[in-house]
Amino acid sequence: MSTINRLNRAYKNAKVIPFDDDSRFIFFSDCHRGDNSFADEFANNRNIYFHALKQYYREGFTYIELGDGDELWESKFEDIFEAHKNIFFLLRDFYNKGRLHMLYGNHDVLYRNNEVVKKHYQSWINPENQEEEALMPGLKFHESLVLKHTETGRELFLVHGHQADWFNYVMWPLARFMVRVLWRPLQVVGISDPTSPAKNNKELFKVERRMKQWIASMGNMVTIMGHTHRPRFPEPGDPALFNDGSCVHPRSITGLELWQGKLTLIKWNLDTTEEGYLQVRRTVLEGPTAIDLY
């Protein structure tokens, strides 16, 4: 099956979420939440991510995670949950408010199986009383989503993006084996996985080119993806391919905000005040730009 066919199928089967100009969304992807070992790239940014997500929760944003949230190729979910329990409880707050939507990517493709999601997200054991308590019962992971404007009918397509990456879409069991057995130990000493588009520019450009071809076939539909870890914010008139980046950049995370019908590429990073105190700061990298311009 070609990239075009895979994306057509994802679009056809996408859950549709209505929105208007008052809606607020924050898109993050590629958190790769791990087990807090030396191979857990997310661990360095977890405080930045937690602070940013708390701000978005307080401000009424809906959180959409565009895949590869949990690093299931390298770690067991039980270890991930224990390492980042506060983050899962914050995700539960979004879920309880009806403001959480999750996509799966190649590193958490197992979540396309609802039984796996139920096993991991249905409940947790409170160590204080050894009783089972609800976590996010009924949570579902989707391959794709479509945001549809209630007045204009304008659609935004949301997908992880590995659909344009044959090796990581079709051969993911082999890719997972290679990461788990070979690249994870080498990652600890700084050697990157060359099969990942995030670490291989040649593969990255191939993925983006295939995504642009599909977007052109859909009349330049605004599409938001992750997977490559490279933030992307096109100019109006260019192929409408956006990328929210990742949460495993060195000492920073990037994402996309949608509010008042405009997209904004943002970065959250650690900075110091004039007094020398550390602070988490939000910086606008691109935008805000109205989606109607694309």
At 62, list the tokens. 């809906």
For 47, residues 6+ apart whose C-beta sits below 8 A from its C-beta are 280
How far is the C-alpha of 21 from the C-alpha of 160, rounded, in Å? Answer: 24
Going by C-alpha positions, the residue among 246, 10, 27 that lies closest to residue 144 is 10
How far is the C-alpha of 66 from the C-alpha of 144, rounded, in Å? Answer: 8
CB atoms within 10 A of CB 279: 10
Q: What's the pLDDT score for residue 196?
A: 54
The domains of the chain, with CATH numbers, are: 3-293 (3.60.21.10)
Q: What is the pTM of this model?
A: 0.92
Q: What digits encode the pLDDT tens for the residues 20-55? A: 999 999 999 999 999 998 778 899 999 999 999 999
Angle between helices 85-96 and 46-58 (to 10 degrees): 20
At 90, list the tokens. 């914050």
Q: What angle do CA 18, 24, 25 make, to 5 degrees?
A: 80
Q: What digits encode the pLDDT tens for the residues 134-148? A: 999 999 999 999 999
Q: What digits encode the pLDDT tens for the residues 242-290? A: 999 999 998 999 999 999 999 999 999 988 878 888 889 999 999 999 9
